[in-house]
Chains A and B, each alone.
Chain A
Amino acid sequence: MKTKKSIYLFMIPGGLLFLVFFAVPTIYGLSLSFTNWDGLSNGFKWVGFSNYVNLFTNDTTFHQAVGNTLKFVVSVVIIQSFFSLVFALILLRNTKVNVFLRTLYFFPTILASVSVAFIWTFIYDPNIGILNAVLKIVGLGHLAHAWIGDPTMVIYSLAMAEIWAHTGQLLIIYLAGLQQIPVEMNEVARIEGASRWQIFWKVTWPLLTPATTIVVAYTTIQSFRAFDLVYAMTNGGPGSSSEILATYIYHQAFQYNHVGYASAVAMIFMVVIAIITMLQFGILRFRKSA
């Protein structure tokens, strides 16, 4: 089909909005990665790539933050994508109970991050928390932990809170995806005698690819950027055992007054997510055509 010129007009309003109020300040912000701006003074110096050199060669906290971020993102992406798919399949039909459960699952997403942080700090509290209390009641007292006070555990404890807060949100994307699957496809498969399991693998799952791509990519990006929750619950601690890239950027920019340096971290942050997202798109599309 030939592209009509008028199609470009469709991009003007949104493009303009995006350009003026998002792209311009963002590009300006990222270009600061080549400066030593402190975020307060009037002037700054251009320092070339020295922020980047420092990050890669010298900055052990940055390296640790990269590791923590990956642990966090991988746990969240796997568990959250799986849960949201399973629950979307189970709660697909618009029965009263299903609508209620979907709304309930979605509710944590609506809560402000201060509430989610408070709830989970309370649940994880080593002395008065619900989690340890429940473990003791069911006879698993030896598993009781200082969930966010233990450096080896904290990042996974935070991941659980993130999953709790957002699974119901991504369930929606799967619902939207499931809805686009034509009814006939399933009917035909059923008439041909396919089992439910076969129908899922041969019909539903391949047709869900666009939804899966969006869910996986969105979850990846969202968990990379999970600043509020981590900041409110641990602020990167104990020590720097839950320092993730998003909190590290914050600390560098505002606590340490290294806005230029923080921009360099953000630039790397962006490139890493972009690469991961592109890989995800590639893998999922490859699978579809295979």
Chain B
Amino acid sequence: MKKSKIALGVFLVGALTAAVGCGSGTSGSGGNGTGANGGGSSTNSSTKQTITFLHWRGEDVPTFNKIISEFEQKNPNITVQMQVIPSDQYIAQAQANLTGSHGADVFTSFPGAEFTAIAKAGLYTDLSGQAFIQDYNSNLLGSGQQDGKQLAVPYQVVFNMPVYNQDLFSKLGLQPPTDWNGFLQLCQKLKANGDTPIVFAGKVSAGQFFNDMVMNNVPDPKVFTGLLDGSSKLTDSGFLKTFQQLSELAKKGYFQNGPLGTSQDAATAIFAQGKSGMLALGSYQITPVNKDNNSAFKMGLMAPITTDSPDQAKYVGIDTTTFMLGVNAKSQHKAAAEKFIDFLSQPDIAAEYANGTSQMVTVKNVNYTDPALKAMEPELTKALRFQPMYTLTNQQVVDAVTNTVEDVISGTDPTAAAEKGQKAIDQALSQK
């Protein structure tokens, strides 16, 4: 019995220390394996600082690797360690990361509910006085502001309007319509020609397409955000009209077969085959249509206009500023972190990022060489509305609205769906 006791004790200690020991051993010795992914070497000289940069854009890794090595050359004391977590895992992982005491130094966040929650928890360093703020288009910085402070700087601009097939349109002699009747006729003509008028991507499009549909039906942003305090309801006329119009599109068969069961990748592929008029996503999908699907046709952006006459339409499209760079309030290397954001804000670096990733940026004086971006540049001068869904700072309310859209598209009566959605909102507000 004694023997077994000793054996067990030795084993227990042995196993645990072996596990911990071999782990720390590896983290010390394995440094040579990192080269290919760049950014990650961790030499520890006393003057050197390592900052962590957390974001969700896997497709930007090669471009960021280049930018980071340029930054490290200019700032030999600072090493940037990039950590990429795809957007479907991002919110949960970032939350845990920021809660801890050694979280990322520079991190990105989404506008709207996520930004508000992080701001409320006091996790942003105020960037208001930073010189690099001047490098940005001041009217594109709003999504990162709260109470007059610039807590984060949005880096990208996207246009959340359907992408349309310009070649197909001109072949059929169609023009982007300027009122609701025109939009219905357009869809009818596409359908009559055997094409799918609108390709809808299940989970994603509901939240995207709704923005375009609602922007002119509920033109007053205060009325829209009234959903957050109960001063407006989903059953109010503007919202209801939007749901009725969505229902009309679904009933007339203007979406492809099974819109809610189609994934984003499949929708993109269907649109890329050239047999459909519009893809109900946004400007960000132009590159995947081109690159992943090798489509040769020209594309443009157009939002459905839902008003009876063109002059009633206050807006012609939607923009979103996102990928908001922030500095962790708990960071021990704030100066280095701010230096890194400052570097990203320089027009030539921002141009390198934009052209390398085909993303339009919020930085001023950027020279776009990428043809897709060049074509998109004029959009910025149009009457655009900031994505209404991102003005809803309560994600539960956002989901209630998106669920209502999905219910309508799966055939629920618009009034009944709106009532159900409003019930969900009431409940979300009572939980606050």
Contacts and interface: CB of A to CB of B under 8 A. Distances in A.
A122 B270 CA distance: 13
Contacts of A42: 121-122
Q: Which of A13, A41, A42, A149 has the most B CB atoms < 10 Å from its CB?
A: A149
A241 to B, nearest CB: 8
Given A6-B1, A125-B266, A127-B266, A256 B121 contact: no
Contact of B262 (A6, A17, A149, A231): A149
Contacts of A234: 202-203
A237 interface: yes
Interface stretch (B87-95, B171-179, B280-288, B316-324): B87-95
B403 A240 contact: yes
A13 B431 CA distance: 43
A230 B122 CA distance: 33
Chain A: interface size category: 35 or more
A235 B207 CA distance: 14
Task: Determine chain A's interface SS by DSSP, over half rule.
Answer: loop
A147 B263 CA distance: 12
A239 B403 contact: yes
Contacts of A261: 431
Interface string A180-198: 0000000000000000000
Interface string B157-193: 0000000000000000000000000000000000000
Interface string A225-260: 000000110110111100000000011011111100
A9 B262 contact: no
Interface string B406-429: 110110000000000001100110
Interface stretch (B60-68, B132-140, B251-259, B366-374): B251-259
Nearest to B117: A257
A239 B4 contact: no
A88 B1 CA distance: 41
B385 to A, nearest CB: 24
B260 interface: yes
A239 to B, nearest CB: 4
A127 B257 contact: yes
B270 A128 contact: yes
A237 B262 contact: no
B118 A239 contact: no
A255 B8 CA distance: 46
Nearest to B90: A254
Contacts of A60: 423-424, 427
Contacts of A257: 113, 117, 395
B263 A237 contact: no
A54 B403 CA distance: 21
Given A9-B5, A12-B12, A238-B410, A127 B258 contact: yes
A42 to B, nearest CB: 7
20 contacts: A4-B1, A6-B1, A13-B11, A13-B15, A17-B16, A38-B117, A39-B95, A39-B99, A40-B95, A40-B121, A40-B123, A41-B121, A41-B122, A42-B122, A125-B261, A125-B263, A127-B258, A128-B270, A149-B260, A258-B431
Interface of B: 1, 4-5, 8, 11-12, 15-16, 88, 91-92, 95, 98-99, 113, 117-118, 120-123, 202-203, 206, 256-263, 266, 269-270, 394-396, 399, 403-404, 406-407, 409-410, 423-424, 427-428, 430-431
Given A9-B4, A39-B95, 9 more contacts: A13-B12, A13-B16, A149-B260, A149-B262, A149-B410, A250-B92, A255-B396, A257-B113, A257-B395
8 cross-chain pairs, A with B, having the tightest CB-CB distances, nearest first = A149-B261, A126-B258, A146-B258, A146-B261, A149-B260, A40-B121, A254-B92, A238-B406
Interface of A: 4, 6, 9-10, 12-13, 16-17, 38-42, 54, 58-61, 121-122, 124-128, 145-151, 231-232, 234-235, 237-240, 250-251, 253-258, 261
